[in-house]
Amino acid sequence: MVQHALSCHEAFLRLNDYVDRELSPAEHDAVAAHLFDCAKCASVFEFEADILADLKAKLSRIQLPPSLKDRVLEAIQRGAKAADA
């Protein structure tokens, strides 16, 4: 749990998880507060968020082979069986 204002370094270390929405509510709020107060970090966040949005847009245009889903599920099942062994 984050109970203090984050430094730029602390916020930067959490930035990827913030972009991916993988922080606890307290950490999310601490990073959001830092980004509100710090123009430099807000600029870095905006840059990373833009890259992520562009990547998602490009990936959504790629046609995957129909058999890919089946192959991925089979690989996951093989991995799960190997982990159980």
Q: Evaluate if residue 1 carries a pLDDT over 60.
A: no
Joined tokens for residue 67? 């058999």
Confidence of residue 10 (pLDDT cuts 50, 70, 90): very high
Domain that holds residue 26: 8-84
**Number of domains composing the chain:** 1
**Quick check: 48 and 24 in contact, CB under 8 A?**
no
Distance (Å, whole) CA 52 – CA 58: 10
- Residue 1 forms part of a structural domain: no
Distance (Å, whole) CA 73 – CA 76: 5
- Residue 73 forms part of a structural domain: yes
- Residue 2 forms part of a structural domain: no
- Give me the residue label for tokens 């959490």: 14
Question: Which of the 8 DSSP states describes residue 4?
Answer: S
Confidence of residue 22 (pLDDT cuts 50, 70, 90): very high
- Residue 40 forms part of a structural domain: yes
Question: What is the model's pTM?
Answer: 0.63
**Quick check: 32 and 3 in contact, CB under 8 A?**
no
- Residue 3 forms part of a structural domain: no
